[in-house]
Amino acid sequence: MADDPDPTPDFTPEQTARGRALRRAQVPWLLGGALTALALTLVLGLTPAGAGLVTWAGGLFGGSRTAEVLGGAAALAVLGQAVRMPFGARIRAVRARYGLVTQGWGGWALDALRGLGLGLALLLPAALGLYALTGRSPDRWWIPGAVLAALLVTALSFLHPLLIEPVFNRFSSMPAGPLRDALLGLADRDGVRVRDVLVADASRRTTALNAYVSGLGSTRRIVAYDTLLNTAEPREVELVVAHELGHVKHRDVLTGTLLGAAGAAAATVLIGLAANWQPLLDAAGGEPTADPRSLPLLAALAALIGSATGPLQAAASRRIEARADRHALELTDDPEQFIAMQRRLAVANVSDVDPPRLLVLLFGTHPSATRRIAAARAWRPAAAPPAAAPPAG
């Protein structure tokens, strides 16, 4: 990796220091929450404690096999949420000190409950389907399971803007006007069909700026945070949306969905094979996968696979985001405003514009602000074809 560009020309020492200070204040709690949740999952999955938890939770609802599946899955989800909550509360307090939080503690707690409820609504039917498969084919359940996991990821990608996004934000159609016309015109010029341009009421929670394009096919729409519309210049909003259109133009959403489906299928196969490894079964209490008491072991294997593949996913994301930046420059031919937009986003979101390389390699999903600005300065529009020579005579 090349040396990071010097942030000095684009950000004041105060802005650079502020972003670095926020990162240093947040990262220990972010890592602490993730590691604590992973440790809990591994303890429950790789010791008999997890099987005991499933038996206890199922007993609260009658002790049947179905009760153990539902009770065990719910208990794992609730415990996972519970151990992350103190870390999330600390992160919220840190972000509030930097002016990034507009939501009260009650709203924050309500969002956490909404997230838990949504997670259970997705998890419990999936757990029932999983153990229907393990009961029918204890040794080969992962073959149809891989197919169903891929289909589930694909369906969720399509339904996400319709069913999941509205749980946390309210959306309204952007009123008719020059900006709406400019954004629709930008999409039309890019050859991207969008259903609507929506405004998300993000200011109820944060002062951070963002926009995105979500959905596939008939559910695709441009979404802008109201914080972005109230803060940025219209041309800067166009540059943000042009970046997001780049994801659509390069089929990043579709590709991500297909890769996610393939990854879910591969993970299901790995989990199915590993769950039959006798040392793991012995560590978890010896319960076969057909028994609901194996649920914590399967969850632990899924968590390990997710943690191991995280840096690879982050690296792929950085490449995709850099390509979307180039697309925005090609679509708008306006590197100066692109740079202004990157500055505004970094300052408003109190970003660390030059984070440590290790953190970028492990967790960075976007290039740093300094790298994005340096790439914009180095960008040159494609040369126009040479004019035809005038006819002789």
Count CA atoms closer than 13 A to 43's CA, side-chain side. Answer: 11
Task: Assess whether pLDDT exceeds 50 at residue 280.
Answer: yes
Residue 221 resides in a domain: yes
Residue 386 resides in a domain: no
Residue 148 resides in a domain: yes
| Higher pLDDT, residue 391 or 179 | 179
> Domain range holding 278?
13-378
For the chain, what is the domain count?
Answer: 1
Determine the Cα–Cα distance for residues 197 and 4; give it in Å rounded to an integer: 36
Task: Indicate the pairing of strand 197-200 with strand 221-225.
Answer: parallel
Tens of pLDDT, residue by residue over 210-255, are 888 887 777 788 899 999 999 989 999 999 999 999 998 898 888 8
Average pLDDT over residues 38-60: 95
Residue 104 resides in a domain: yes
Count CA atoms closer than 13 A to 121's CA, side-chain side. Answer: 10
Residue 390 resides in a domain: no
Tens of pLDDT, residue by residue over 95-134, are 999 999 999 999 999 999 999 999 999 999 999 999 999 9
User: What pLDDT shows up at residue 391?
Assistant: 45
Residue 4 resides in a domain: no
pTM of the model: 0.86
Residue 1 resides in a domain: no
Q: Which tokens go with 112?
A: 């956490």
Residue 7 resides in a domain: no
User: What pLDDT shows up at residue 382?
Assistant: 62
User: What pLDDT shows up at residue 194?
Assistant: 86
Quickly state the pLDDT bin for 375 (edges 50, 70, 90): very high
